[in-house]
A and B are shown apart, each in its own frame.
Chain A
Amino acid sequence: MSFRLDILAEDGVARLCSLNNKAMEIKVKTPIAVLPIIDYLLDNDHYAYLLKQQNIVYMTSSPDQTIPISQENHLIFQYSKTNYYTSDLRPEPLLPAQVSENTTHFFSKTCPSSMLHDEFAVEWYTQFFQEIIKEIEEEPQKIEKMNGFGVVMNFHDLRNPDILLNLIESFVSNPLIYNNIVALKIDGLFDKKMDYTSSVDTFLRLKKLFPADLLYIASGLILPYEYAFLINLGFDAIDLSYLLHTGYFGLYYRHEEGMEWVRKLHSIEEFACNCEECDVVRELLTEFSVISDIPSFYTNFALHNLRCGLMEIERVRKNIQRGSLSTYLERKSQLSLLLLSALRHIQKNYPSIFNSTQSLNKETSLPCTTPLSYHNPNVEQYRQKLRHNVEPRPNTKICIFLPCSMGKPYSKSKSHRNFIKIIKNAAKKWYKYISEVIITSPLGIVPREIEEVFPAAHYDISVTGDWDAEELQLTSREIVDWIKKLPHNVKIIAYLHGGYQKAFELAMQIIESEEKSTITYSIPSNIDEFSDAIIHSLEELTKQETSGRIGDSLSNEEQSIKMIADFQFGTGAGTALIGSAARFLQSRNDNIKTINGFESHGKLQLGRYLRSSGHITLNYQGGERLSEQPGIAVTLNTADISGTTIFKPGIEHVDEGLCAGDECVILGPNSEYLGVGSLVVRSETYSRMRRGAVVKIRKLKKEGE
């Protein structure tokens, strides 16, 4: 009896799944550590203790291996027996005679054990796949009883792993495999550190061939600092065998600094670790002076390394839960050039995979610590949404550019409170015709109306006043795009200095060269000039407009709701949502504002606005108003739904570009409106998964409504 994999949440490509085994009532969460059961170590108390931990999976090397009874409440991944060929050249069976309730069987082939060359490997895999399919065809009841199986693929001595992709594709397209495979263990793909980036390419290509609800296990020569990166690529489990090996080689994992030879660590003080194994070593070192005299000394290092690996996986899991994996990864990459180049590689070459899959429904802080953060997926996704979804207020007459502030959201900071006071004093009744835009790095620009959305209120960057070339270029690009969207004849006041000013001036140069026309703007140098500039601009404005009441009639608050909705759901969503009028109502919870339409005496709830994430969660009526909005709908194949979750088989289509955690509108088979919910998985995962939850329903049409 194997496990069932349910995707619980996704953070970009990385995800949080649960592995359920109903028969034994086992439930564990990925990313998970896979711990090898080594008979030799079973007598060791420390190892036995590690095995008792909750969030791990055991791996045995053959069905014959006995598992101590105390460990039966864990999932077990089990390899095929060592197999070769009988004398009449027939392969030995890969399937075991019997599989216990909590065990997942992994097809693995051990002979020939190494690849002579890539051509040889193609032949090897052809045989392997044929053997698997043949056995499954011969024993369908057994497979049904096993409830899924895994496959071990070994890439460690392939020069070019890509040559296997066609073979694997045809293997997976076999319905027997596609319907029953639950796990894929990828051995040795990331062994060659010189070809790390091409290994990443191979893995991403490989992933496309398999269903999405598959457990990916990374194995081979990988060290804990790589875990975050691999999990970010989409691995769900890490095999820790190599860490044990390193211990016996005499390598000691120094947390963030990588491996170090034990023989180079002379004194006790150099074990900068407080784990139990290191304590044992410290004690032993006081008794013995020569390391090699100490019996089973290296076991302690192996277990120390193992502990480091387990801890790292816990950390990564926490970060996925919080939605901060991308920043964690940036921090990790500072410790290893390998990761740095790999991360830059995926930022540069796979924006569609890693950036557009980022949900912005988060509350975590986003420290931008390195130049890598300029292209952090959250940041990129923000820029993308701003560029495509958000239009400046149509009634803008004056656009004021302001520098960012340390405190977030900006309007709560001292400097911005001051700016707002000055602007209000200067503008008086014209205040609603002034739009404020904050210039910042690495986000580019943040219009005042959406300053609370993630990541505008959550990012932080160390400010020195010096902007580097990339920052200037990225920011000016955003300014250019925004100014191009502004109505004609808008007065531009840029109360900026230093890098902000440089970025702004660069933007002006770009516009001049692109539009072949000059734009007039003023850069006041102090507060008084700033105030004067606003008054001066307004005077000109009032001269032109005699009526005193211009164009749009929406209030500032309505503009804000509209722009947030636009940002979240796409252009036009705001207008559709608020209709002719709407307002915020502060709820009893400080964090929540309700959005109310003016109908039913202003009590028609459209949705709730969460200030901590700047995210709107829709109500039934709010969803109804957005039911025509393109790009946010989930279409079902039946109108008859119950419960709180919609699963894959009930769904006809999920609009492209939706990410996990996004709000969505649920439509019936004839595009009739049914309710609102939020997505569990992104649209791309949905299209490749075989089963599992897709949408969590929030509000559904009631009977008779």
Chain B
Amino acid sequence: MSEKIALMIKKQTRMLRDRAKERINKHTNWNLQKPVTSWIAEDRLHDEMGYEFTIIFRTCACSWARSDDAGCTMCGYFNDKGPDSILQSQILDQLQYAISKHLKKLDEIQKEGKKTTIKFFSSGSFLDNEEFRPETRIEIIKQVVNLPSIHNILAETRPEFVKEDSLKSLMAVCNEKPLELGIGMESSNDYVREILINKGFSSQNLKDSIKIAHKCGVLVKTYLLLKPPFLNEKTAIRDAVQSIKDAVTWGADSISLNPVNIQAFTLAELLFNHQKYRSPWIYSVISVFQKALTQEILDRVLILCSPSAAGKERGVHNCHDKACNSTWLKIMNEFISTQNMDIIDPKNLPYEECSCWGEYNLFLERSPI
């Protein structure tokens, strides 16, 4: 029975993906020497506060989104893809561009005595040989590993690319610096992940790849999705809480909770435009942390949450009041940076400050979406 639902979701996603492709194909003046974007910002590291140096490469896109299965229902990173004919040398150029742009800042950080995580995002998989050839990967790591203040390296990948040999070859050039793999687990529930998100891998695949990574001495960061399309707020909280607990038992070293933000040419956007979907509330994020986390978990696992478009209509937000959104985002960020449960203790939170707390409670109980 669920297959028909899954097929409809897949079909709709594919249609949207084709529309996105049409638009991307109109682009002619790519600047393939530059990455999509790169930045340095404050971030919580495993033991302390530090910085993140993020580079988003423009590649030939995620293998799952390229395929006939059309990708995930909430992911619009496909829109940042480059031409299929992109060269590996151009990817290295992108890296050089980002490094030269931020080298000064990295030096300053080193002088401060802080540490930096370097993050390679490609809106796809770092370990996918189509996107990054093995020699490109090694070259990239070689170039960044000795940059000032760099403490560890994070790359994102789908679990099917986590192979022992490729990981070992990377570890060899990491120069003893920890390597972390970010894997989009989204939910521990297979129905939610495979049918509602159309993610295309099972829990077993994920557990296996975590095992392989750990065997090679690579850390694993799992991304969990808060409120995927087709879950209402209450179910979404329940799902996220369960997923955090499961991710901990499956051996994740850090967990990043990602509230859905609405990206172009996705199913989430389609539902959003028809008022059939509302991006999650910040209250829900806090609520998930309150319900799922214990001190014991926090001691073992790093909990992260850095939502995109936070406070905006299309991202995680409460009401239209800017003050309310910024108050609650501040609380959330404070919790992430200190990893201290006291901060999200209901007794310490200013629930009654904004009228939307009442609205949220009603929404939670009564709204079908």
Contact = CB atoms under 8 A, between A and B. Distances in A.
Interface of A: 36, 38-41, 61, 82-89, 110-117, 119-120, 123-124, 126-127, 130, 154, 156-157, 187-188, 241, 244-245, 248-250, 292, 295-299, 302
B279 to A, nearest CB: 13
A40 to B, nearest CB: 4
Interface in B1-43: 1-2, 4-5, 8-9, 12
Indicate the member of A38, A112, A157 with the most B CB atoms within 10 Å: A112
A111 B2 CA distance: 11
Indicate the member of B1, B358, B359, B363 with the most A CB atoms within 10 Å: B358
B101 interface: no
B203 interface: yes
B6 to A, nearest CB: 9
10 contacts: A41-B358, A61-B365, A83-B235, A112-B196, A112-B230, A113-B232, A114-B368, A127-B5, A296-B355, A298-B355
Contacts of A83: 235
Interface string B212-223: 000000000000
B27 to A, nearest CB: 29
B365 A38 contact: yes
B271 A114 contact: yes
Contact of B4 (A87, A123, A244): A123
Contacts of A38: 361-362, 365
A208 B271 CA distance: 32
Indicate the member of B195, B277, B363, B368 with the most A CB atoms within 10 Å: B368
Given A82-B232, A89-B2, A130-B1, A245 B359 contact: yes
A89 B190 contact: yes
Nearest to B189: A87
Q: Which 10 A-B pairs have the closest CB atoms?
A: A85-B191, A112-B230, A248-B359, A114-B276, A40-B361, A113-B232, A298-B355, A87-B190, A61-B365, A82-B235
Nearest to A39: B361
A189 to B, nearest CB: 13
A302 B359 CA distance: 10
Interface in B171-197: 188-192, 195-196
Nearest to A188: B368
Contacts of B269: none
Given A156-B368, A299-B355, 16 more contacts: A41-B361, A61-B234, A89-B191, A113-B231, A116-B270, A116-B271, A123-B5, A123-B8, A124-B5, A130-B1, A154-B368, A157-B275, A248-B356, A248-B362, A250-B355, A298-B358
Interface of B: 1-2, 4-5, 8-9, 12, 188-192, 195-196, 203, 229-232, 234-235, 238-239, 267, 270-271, 274-277, 321, 352-353, 355-359, 361-363, 365-366, 368-369
A538 to B, nearest CB: 75
Contacts of B363: 245
A241 B239 contact: no
B55 to A, nearest CB: 35
B276 A110 contact: no
Contact of B189 (A85, A110, A114): A85
A154 B369 CA distance: 11
A82 B238 contact: yes
B189 A84 contact: yes
Contacts of B271: 114, 116
Given A87-B191, A114-B271, A114-B277, A61 B366 contact: yes
Given A123-B4, A123-B5, A127-B1, A114 B358 contact: no
A248 B192 CA distance: 31
Contacts of A302: 358
Contacts of B196: 111-112
A244 B192 CA distance: 31
A483 B317 CA distance: 73
A85 B194 CA distance: 11
Nearest to B363: A245
Nearest to A247: B358
B365 A116 contact: no
A119 B369 contact: no
Contacts of A241: 362, 366
A113 B235 contact: yes
Contacts of B276: 114-115, 157
Indicate the member of B5, B190, B192, B363 with the most A CB atoms within 10 Å: B5
Contacts of B234: 61, 82, 110
A117 B12 CA distance: 10
Contact of A116 (B8, B231, B368): B8
Contact of B192 (A84, A126, A295, A296): A84
Given A38-B362, A38-B365, A86 B191 contact: yes
Nearest to B365: A61
A624 B26 CA distance: 89
Contact of B230 (A114, A117, A123, A296): A114
Contacts of A115: 276
